[in-house]
Structure 1
Amino acid sequence: MTSQEFDFEAVVRQDLPAPAGRWNGFPDFNFVGGHNAPESIPTDALVDAATRVLQREGTTLATYSLESGPQGYRPLREFLAGKLGRDAGMTCTADDVLLTSGSLQGLDLINEVMLAPGDTVLIEEATYGGCLTRFQRLGVTPLGIKLDEQGMRMDHLADTLAKLDADGTKPKFIYVIPTVQNPTASIMPLERRKELLRLAEQYDVAVIEDECYSDLIWDGKRPPALHALDKSGRVVFVGSFSKSIAPALRVGFVVAPWPFMARLLSCKTDAGSGSLEQMVLAEFCNAHFENHVAGLNKVLKQKCDVLIEAMEKNFGTVAEFEAPPGGIFLWVKLPAEIDTSRLAAEAAKHGIQVNPGAEWSIEGPGAKRAIRICYANPPVETIRKGIAALAEVCREEFGLPKTIANA
């Protein structure tokens, strides 16, 4: 007698996303995700840091959260408090910092503490795709605020807040990526930051500031964080080491006042984020962070220049984009007749992966003609070949661009 294989599909929840496919390795031309430049991972320095900190403090791994408490390894929190003061103008201490398993866990905790089905949040029209999927699963309504080359538009934010107020609807928060915005890479200027905070105070709305890419600015000129400008204590700051050091380390952080921090901690029931990663990062960052990021930005700027050159050569005027001032993405708009979800699906058959705009934007028709291209991970020659191949797929599928390599 043979037993029948158990049918898990019969018992899983019915409101889940579609099942994931098996991972078969990275494609030949990998322009998706937030991967970074493998040649810039400071392997030797991380090995040295791991050796030193383990020899000195390895026995503290015997306790959950080492001996630093539930907010994470205190030397790393102290490094962050000092760094954010120097680089972003923020006033905070180690006690205001919570270390998380990537910035995404921080955002999940904020959502868990603040959001309920039926709530409204304000976001940039094009924004981090991970937030969009989470809002959908939580039953939350995200309202998109229009963007321009300087980030979230304050005129549209003011109009939206006024209309919501007239309707008796108060948004739970404004989620914004002001410094090297994802996916557009814009940097919000100082006066616009001040106006955002003025509007948030006028309508008494919290602000969630996502700053995961703010270290990756070519000229190193970073405006003060919204958190630094805020006088009312309404800004919660979220950051990460994924883009400045390595994504696979999965170390992010939240900066928040204690009353809100206490709520986050009550929901962070994972017994603590990875402690060894935190120990190694603290040891490495105190000695090497600034020099490492300066070198990383040189590599990323070179790759960005190669990508722009390849786009101009292979797509010509068919592709519209702004040259990024930093980061790892290029946000490209194609003609309206090109559906980039269809383009991405066809390109995947040829070993090319790009993020279609519909996964990163709620701006309607504009999203369907956009693509996000991550240029950090592939070597420069792979970037050149991959963009040429993408243009060929686009031409075969949509008839555009009319010719290839027109420069």
Structure 2
Amino acid sequence: MTVPTEPVDLLTGWPNPALLPAPDLLRSATTVLTTPAIANPGLLYGPDEGYEPLRVHVAKWLGAFYRPHHSITPRRICITGGASQSLAGILQVFTDPVYTRNIFQVDPTYHLAGRMFDDAGFASKVRRVPEDDQGIDLDYLENALRAAEEKAVAENNTEPKIKPPRPWRKIYKYLIYAVPTFSNPATKIMSLDHRERLVRLARQYDALLVTDDVYDMLQWSASSGGKLMEPDRACVARLVDVDGYLDGGPVDEWGHAISNGSFSKLLGPGVRTGWVEGSEKVAFGASQVGSSRSGGAPSHFCSTIIDQLLPTGILDNHIRNVLQPAYAERYHLLLSAVQEHLVPLGVTVAQASTTVAGGYFIWITLPSPLLAAAVVVRAQKEENLRLAPGTQFQVQGDPEVANDRFASHIRLCFAWAEPRHLTEGVRRLARVLKRSLE
């Protein structure tokens, strides 16, 4: 057996550099650096809440895409250093490692979120919530919330123990983390019905819903060659928008949902710039994390560069004319190859919707008795093919569940590899599966 010399990577969940708008960023940076009125304040610390023009333009841009019932004002936006930094800051401001009973994660999950929960003191308090066909098993979650609340009452855990009161923060009893649209890794889209019920549960148990809404604009028709009727509009309302309208709106001035956004999938992870959107109280609270109070908003200078791309329509054109068609082509190439080469071997494919697809990934299940961990090792050794085993995306630390829930699953990423590598990678995987089944 000859091992291919050219590597194929279907593991890395990064955007391909060829799809990133470097020329647009260069022109924008030149404008900023040659305009003292922008460059001089842009090179200083900046306000805690972030570069004001970007907050204004992000609010308008999000409003045009999500079209929520309520108006998105700049005061609902806090500029951040990207979705990961945002999540860490949210944990610092809005949770207490004693009073906050549990962190719930939809399972399977974005695998690197767990380190942030660990760093915030929740290693022993992380719990899973299984997915169902509509994105989250709400009966399971409700039972878990009820049990956790009974335990807290029995332990007299009635107020924050570590963090004293501050006017810019509210300590929530629970935090629920999810990627509700084109989830990483399973590509599920949480239904609107489930989102509404989830918001009601969050209000009932005083939970903060934190959602990574980072893939929402990367959407296309689920059928090859088809077109979405409204590619410039979100396929379902965000949880923060549901909290804005459901049953008359938020139950208090804080609300129970935060949308965690990022330019990483649109302009490049290296820009290290994102935003959180929530109630005005929550957005301001997010800006008051100690590192921002000390140094100002993260990515302040990058914010001035990115800001040039929004009111001009450059970012929208890049999403519509470059990212959506390029990722749609890659998605359908990979899916077609899976259906041709893997499905006949007993592999099954998770598809979130018959009308809309999106994100970065395809989630497959291997036939019994194959285990993904062994297949991944053989693929690397025998075919020079990198893959991500499903166990990598299990919620870690939940003592009530086994750690082999996704032992037969593999996540395939179509964003990083060149299009010519997608079909080749699947052919290599098929060869591994055939040898493993012999």
Same fold per TM (> 0.5)? Answer: yes
Matches within 5 A, 1:4-15: none
Matches within 5 A, 1:6-405: 28-56=7-35, 57-65=38-46, 69-88=47-66, 89=68, 91-113=71-93, 114-116=95-97, 119-137=101-119, 138=121, 139-168=123-152, 172-218=174-220, 219=228, 220=231, 221-230=234-243, 231-232=249-250, 233-264=255-286, 265-269=288-292, 271=295, 272-287=297-312, 288-295=314-321, 296-317=323-344, 318-323=346-351, 325-349=357-381, 350-362=383-395, 364-396=403-435, 398-399=436-437
Structure 1 distance, partners of 2:359, 2:76, is: 26
> Over residues 355-388 of structure 1, what are the superposed CA-to-partner deviations in whole Å (9 max), with x where a residue is unaligned?
2111212374331111111101212211111121
> Over residues 281-322 of structure 1, what are the superposed CA-to-partner deviations in whole Å (9 max), with x where a residue is unaligned?
111122212221112111111101111111122212422112
Structure 1 distance, partners of 2:55, 2:124, is: 32
Task: Please state how far the C-alpha of 1:38 moved relative to its aligned partner.
Answer: 3.1
Report the AA paired with residue 335 of structure 1: P
Task: Please state how far the C-alpha of 1:115 moved relative to its aligned partner.
Answer: 4.4
Structure 1 distance, partners of 2:131, 2:368, is: 18
Aligned position for 2:223: none
Structure 1 distance, partners of 2:184, 2:406, is: 14
> Over residues 51-70 of structure 1, what are the superposed CA-to-partner deviations in whole Å (9 max), with x where a residue is unaligned?
222222222244222xxx12
> Over residues 260-280 of structure 1, what are the superposed CA-to-partner deviations in whole Å (9 max), with x where a residue is unaligned?
445432332572422332122
In percent, how many aligned pairs have the same letter?
Answer: 24
**Relative contact order (alpha carbons < 8 A, sep ≥ 6): 1 or 2 greater?**
2
Report the AA paired with residue 101 of structure 1: G
Structure 2 distance, partners of 1:195, 1:62, is: 45
> Over residues 30-65 of structure 1, what are the superposed CA-to-partner deviations in whole Å (9 max), with x where a residue is unaligned?
222331133322222222222222222222244222
* Secondary structure at the counterpart of residue 112 of structure 2: helix
Structure 1 distance, partners of 2:423, 2:201, is: 44
Aligned position for 1:21: none
TM-score (norm 1): 0.83
Aligned position for 1:7: none
Report the AA paired with residue 41 of structure 2: T
* Secondary structure at the counterpart of residue 235 of structure 2: coil
Report the AA paired with residue 332 of structure 1: I
Structure 1 distance, partners of 2:331, 2:96, is: 37
Structure 1 distance, partners of 2:385, 2:301, is: 35
Structure 2 distance, partners of 1:173, 1:91, is: 25
* Secondary structure at the counterpart of residue 91 of structure 2: helix
Structure 2 distance, partners of 1:383, 1:331, is: 14
Segments of 4+ moved more than 4 angstroms: none
Q: 1:290 to 1:261 in 2, by over 3 A?
A: closer
* Secondary structure at the counterpart of residue 167 of structure 1: helix
* Secondary structure at the counterpart of residue 181 of structure 1: coil
Report the AA paired with residue 385 of structure 2: I
Q: 1:136 to 1:332 in 2, by over 3 A?
A: farther
Structure 1 distance, partners of 2:12, 2:79, is: 22
Q: 1:374 to 1:290 in 2, by over 3 A?
A: same
Q: 1:36 to 1:204 in 2, by over 3 A?
A: same
CA RMSD of aligned residues (A): 2.4
Does the 8 A contact of 2:15 with 2:265 survive in 1?
A: yes
In terms of mean alpha carbon deviation, does 53-62 or 300-309 score higher? 53-62
Report the AA paired with residue 164 of structure 1: A
Q: Give the length in aligned residue pairs.
A: 370
Task: Please state how far the C-alpha of 1:119 moved relative to its aligned partner.
Answer: 4.1
